[in-house]
A and B are shown apart, each in its own frame.
Chain A
Amino acid sequence: QLQLQESGPGLVKPSETLSLTCTVSNGSISSSPYCSDWIRQPPGKGLEWIGTFCHTGNSYYNPSLRSRVTISVDTSKKQSSLKVTSVTAADTAVYYCARRVGMRDYFDYTGQGTLVTVSS
């Protein structure tokens, strides 16, 4: 069964860059028809889609975050990476990586999530 594990700093200072890695085991996120997505959830709030990197090489981002977000996939390492620049307290959230089935657009596997707090 596919497993996704997020990793990265749990505390980031305001104005700095948040960097997270999602490591994949027992499967693939980079072959057709899959996409590697990132989702976040601020404390006590709902799910927010951050963006995606697909097997086609295409990437799409939430318009509200597009100027600050980059998602990439390293197929050799079986990892997906998320970078969010110029973070503020509003970026404090649990961050999830997820595999999305392209064209049918559902998340069949999701990592356990990692809490990132933005604070000085």
Chain B
Amino acid sequence: QSVLTQPPSVSAAPGQRVTISCSGTNSDIGDHYVSWYQQFPGTAPKLLIYDNDNRPSGIPDRFSGSKSGTSATLGITGLQTGDEADYYCATWDNILIGMTFGGGTKLTVL
């Protein structure tokens, strides 16, 4: 059972916008930076967003992140079939004294 709560799945049509939520508490998201990862089947997770809302070089600006209080959101605009993947949020947890991941969200581009 993950400390951070994500919807198991989201879906949208090509070209549309989708958001993925990540809900936590004051001991994790509320007190630390959030990062987001994209994972295709059989491959390693890849950093998409760090420090709540920053993109590493090479990540398209179609991907965005935000944080408010104890929740964070990943946004993807101009959806492409190549965006179909699992997405995970992560942050430090003061109670666990370690990193924690959300349960992951499977994105389907219809």
Using CB atoms and an 8 Å cutoff, list the residues of chain A in contact with chain B: 37, 39, 46-49, 51-52, 60-63, 96, 100-101, 104-108, 110-113
List the interface of chain B (C-beta within 8 A of A): 2, 32-33, 35, 37, 39, 43-47, 50-51, 56, 86, 88, 90-92, 96-104
* A106-B47 contact, Cβ under 8 Å, with A46-B88, A46-B103: yes
The reply to whether A106 and B50 form a contact with Cβ atoms under 8 Å apart is: yes
Interface of B, helix, strand, loop or mixed by DSSP: strand
Bound-state CA distance A61–B51 (Å) is: 22
Q: Tell me the nearest residue of chain A to B56, going by C-beta.
A: A108
Chain A nearest Cβ from B56, distance in angstroms: 7
With a CB–CB cut-off of 8 A, which chain A residues contact B39? 47
Central interface residue in B90, B96, B98, B104, by most chain A CB within 10 Å: B98
Contact in complex: A62, B50 (CB < 8 Å): no
CB-based contact B2/A46 at 8 Å: yes
- Cβ A105 vs Cβ B100 within 8 A: no
Q: Is the CB of B98 within 8 A of A110?
A: no
Whether the pair B44, A105 counts as a contact (CB closer than 8 A) is no
